[in-house]
């Protein structure tokens, strides 16, 4: 049994409790969170820490299998050139892949991450994920804009799904992005998602020319995709932004996580909220800066269900949710730290259907325990020097 206290305990549900006491049993299960109303209470064996105690972080979007591409991709090239670099490099450096995946998993554990929504295009990460203390939800990503290759794509994904299940990894099919999956393949994914009540994840509006591609059938993204796959020469416009053009093919009743959202506008958010009650918006700000040099207008998402991801080491310098929190905290000073921490804990757990055990300090949960140190308590903000330590 451990009794933990700090200047503040963040409960995962949006509340800072000053000088509160968190009681954890020998199985790392929450016994009680005691609100002391700000009073310092002397208890036998009480461990007091300077900082903020939080539940373990949730990395809602990652590509751990791309970890071997760290420091290999040029920054601020924009999405079309980034995709081209990934395709060119990921096979040539495959000999480094397994060790890089192991190192990335260990890094996330040190950074206080207890669960990850991880994209997989291969089975390279399955052994590491199956042995990790991190809970992984594996999104088996399907890519196939050409309708003539749909059966080959589905067969490959089906084999990958079987391997994931052999490794006892929770998994389901998801589309890669709005622009990279045919209507037929979207229907296959949608039908399976509806039947299995699974979580949908999709890369969304990561570059300005993505909307232009759907509205006008032209632009930088479409030009880049034509170089990768000649099928795109026949791309037809929908005359709508990419998000509504794609989401209409997916079920309304499944949790759907839109990832990146760099160029998502209020009109898109309103449309999504009219379409489904189960929308989650995953922000990966440091990846956005790495690829495009631009952040989403996060103020647009203040009233939405937001979660936080890191993307991959191909598009980020580290896999740290704390660093993502710092970037949001620094660039959007009006957003309370308590809200951002909720995005990084409970909301991420809820998006991945893990909120019954993770994400908040509630009785009988095992959410993990982090300590964030070096806090500007006067303004309740993080500093550049803020760091996280995994306590449990």
Q: Cα(231)–Cα(183) distance, rounded to whole angstroms?
A: 14
Q: Considering the domain boundaries, does residue 284 fall inside one? A: yes
Residue 358 resides in a domain: no
Structurally, the chain folds into a number of domains equal to 2
Do 47 and 126 sit in the same domain of this protein?
no
The domain that holds 221 is classified in CATH as 3.20.20.140
CB-based contact 287:315 (threshold 8 Å): yes
* Same domain, residue pair 6 and 68: no
Same domain, 114 and 34: no
23 and 112: one domain? no
Give the integer Cα–Cα distance in Å for 76 and 72.
13
379: domain CATH number is 2.30.40.10
pLDDT tier, 53 (very low <50, low <70, confident <90, very high otherwise): very high
359 in any annotated domain = no
> Does position 280 have pLDDT exceeding 80, yes or no?
yes
- Between CA 249 and CA 244 the distance in angstroms is 9
Q: Is residue 240 part of a domain?
A: yes
Same domain, 62 and 41: no
pLDDT digits (tens, 9 = 90+) for 67-118: 999 999 999 999 989 999 998 887 777 778 999 999 999 999 999 999 999 9
Please tell me whether residues 27 and 73 are part of one structural domain.
Answer: no
127 in a structural domain: yes
pLDDT of residue 36: 97
Check whether residue 335 and residue 193 sit in a common domain.
yes
Q: Within a domain: residue 282?
A: yes
> Is there a single domain that holds both residue 47 and residue 182?
no
| 123-161: burial string, b at 16+ Cβ within 10 Å, e else | bbbbebbeebebbbbbbbbbbbbbeebbeebbebbeebb
Residues 259 and 275 in one domain: yes
Task: Say whether both 162 and 228 belong to one domain.
Answer: yes
Q: Give, in order, the Cα–Cα distances in Å from 6 to each of 20, 150, 379, 380.
A: 7, 54, 17, 14
- State yes or no: pLDDT of 150 exceeds 90: yes
CA geometry: angle 379, 390, 339, nearest 5 deg: 35
C-alpha pair distances (Å), 145 with each of 125, 221, 232, 235, 359 = 25, 14, 8, 9, 36
DSSP, collapsed to helix, strand or coil, labels residue 209 as helix
CA distances from 387 to 21, 125, 371 (A): 21, 27, 8
270 and 238 in a common domain: yes
Is there a domain that residue 360 lies in? Answer: no
Q: Is residue 357 part of a domain?
A: no
Q: Find out whether 71 and 290 touch, Cβ atoms under 8 Å.
A: no
pLDDT digits (tens, 9 = 90+) for 233-270: 999 999 999 999 999 999 999 999 999 999 999 999 99
**106 and 241: one domain?**
yes
Range of the domain at 168: 57-351
Determine the pLDDT at residue 325.
Answer: 98
What pLDDT is stored for residue 155 in this prediction? 97
């Amino acid at each position: 049994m451990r009794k933990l206290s700090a200047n503040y305990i963040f409960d995962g549900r949006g509340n800072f409790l000053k000088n509160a006491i968190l009681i954890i049993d020998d199985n790392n299960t929450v016994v009680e969170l005691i609100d002391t109303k700000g009073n310092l209470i002397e208890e036998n064996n009480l461990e007091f820490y300077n900082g903020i105690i939080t539940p373990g972080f949730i990395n809602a979007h990652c590509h751990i299998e791309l970890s071997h591409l760290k420091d290999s991709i040029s920054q601020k090239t924009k999405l079309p050139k980034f995709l081209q670099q990934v395709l060119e490099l990921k096979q040539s450096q495959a000999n480094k892949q397994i060790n890089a995946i192991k190192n990335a998993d260990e890094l996330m554990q040190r950074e206080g991450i207890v669960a990850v929504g991880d994209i997989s295009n291969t089975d390279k990460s399955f052994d590491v994920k199956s042995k990790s203390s991190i809970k992984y939800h594996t999104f088996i990503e399907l890519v196939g804009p050409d309708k003539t290759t749909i059966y080959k794509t589905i067969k490959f994904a089906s084999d990958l799904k079987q391997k994931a299940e052999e490794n006892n990894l929770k998994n389901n099919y998801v589309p890669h992005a709005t622009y990279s999956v045919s209507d037929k393949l979207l229907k296959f994914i949608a039908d399976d998602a509806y039947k299995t009540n699974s979580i949908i994840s999709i890369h969304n509006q990561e570059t300005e020319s993505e909307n232009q591609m759907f509205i006008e059938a032209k632009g930088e993204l479409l030009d880049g995709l034509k170089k990768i796959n000649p099928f795109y020469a026949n791309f037809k416009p929908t005359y709508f932004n990419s998000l509504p053009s794609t989401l209409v093919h997916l079920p309304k009743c499944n949790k759907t996580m839109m990832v990146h959202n760099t160029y998502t506008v209020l009109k898109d958010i309103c449309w999504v909220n009219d379409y489904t009650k189960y929308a989650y918006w995953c922000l990966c700000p440091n990846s956005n800066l790495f690829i495009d040099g631009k952040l989403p207008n996060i103020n647009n998402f203040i009233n939405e269900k937001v979660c936080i991801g890191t993307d991959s080491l191909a598009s980020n310098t580290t896999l740290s949710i704390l660093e993502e929190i710092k970037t949001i905290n620094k660039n959007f000073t009006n957003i309370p730290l308590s809200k951002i921490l909720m995005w990084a804990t409970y909301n991420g757990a809820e998006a991945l259907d893990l909120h019954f055990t993770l994400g908040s300090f509630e009785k009988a949960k095992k959410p993990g325990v982090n300590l964030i140190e070096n806090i500007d308590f006067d303004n309740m903000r993080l500093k550049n020097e803020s760091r996280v330590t995994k306590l449990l």
